[in-house]
Structure 1
Amino acid sequence: MVAMESDSELARGETVPDFELPGVDGGTYSLDSFDAEAILLVFTCNHCPYAQAKFDLLNELAADYDEVAVVGVNPNDAEEYPDDSFDRMRELVEDGTIAYDAYLRDESAAVADAYGAVCTPDPFLLSHEGDAWTLAYHGRLDDALNPDAEPTTIHVRDAIESVLAGEDVEIPDRPSRGCSIKWPGDS
């Protein structure tokens, strides 16, 4: 396990890259697939303890905000890390461990690369600006930096509330911490 900290390639207000990725439900998704005011796009996986520690928070956010789509994207190399396979993703959704609005597979990790994601979890809060999706916040979900730590501040809730109120996110981008993305072909 190699802990990494995120550092965004994208600036706030910048239009983010679109994608077309398969979901565990059999659908294919792009940003416009979600009828939402905001999308919390989280590059995550099944096996990393940092990502696992945020499953419950992401499930809560998906349940609490009808106007926000919580979307997990797994870019990890499933050949080297079988726990990150599409079948295992589906199992975690079916057994209720993961209850996001969508859980998508980024087989080539091209989408993670386009966003500049480096770790799991690596969250990007997107805002719908006219016809485009733009970056509103890129940073940690909360202040618990280690998998066994209990958070005292949920940064992403404040960011979501700002976006839903039509305001700029005032909290600074703080790097997320997690396992390094297991890039396909890196082994």
Structure 2
Amino acid sequence: MRDPARGRASVRPGASESLYGDAVRVLTSWRAPDIGQERVRLEFLRHLEEHPADGMWRECAAGHLTASTAVLDASRSRVLLTLHAKVKAWLQLGGHCEPGDATLADAALREATEESGIPGLRLLPDPVRLDRHAVGCHPGGSWHLDVQYVAIAPEGARHAASDESDDLGWFPVDDLPEPTDDAVRRLVALAGDAVRS
């Protein structure tokens, strides 16, 4: 299949342009682990091609890229999840890109740090998974096109919940709390694989 990301037109100027360019670069070079993820990768690239000015931003009603992170403890045996205040389910840390983010990895690390209260997280350089899910960012609904990373917390890290969270806690990677969903379970499984390789 052809990569729709080649030969982009105009985008927001300045730092936003570098974020858009980084998103295209990351999604173009990322090697999907299976055919389903390859379809999602191409869908994300098509979205950026069709929305060069606003496809990275919450304002894009058709959908927008987000960045999230599965944060593992130093032993790699537990994952930090947030009981999301709006969704009322246990999720990985993450959210919308902001104008100060130069890269998707910057956005993922910023969100993970803000939502965990843990300084010194070490982000693995490449995403491990892509996920498209419906959200209520706009009347009538919208889509998050989530680029998912993994980070390792420093030894003895202490977390503090943000105002976006009803709770925050460490859970064994093989015993996640309810309610959660299959997307979180898949991300946590891939996070474990990523840190073992």
Fold shared per TM-score above 0.5: no
| Structure (1 or 2) with the greater helix fraction | 2
The normalised TM-score by structure 2 is 0.26
Considering Cα pairs closer than 8 Å and 6+ residues apart, tell me whether 1 or 2 has the greater RCO. 1
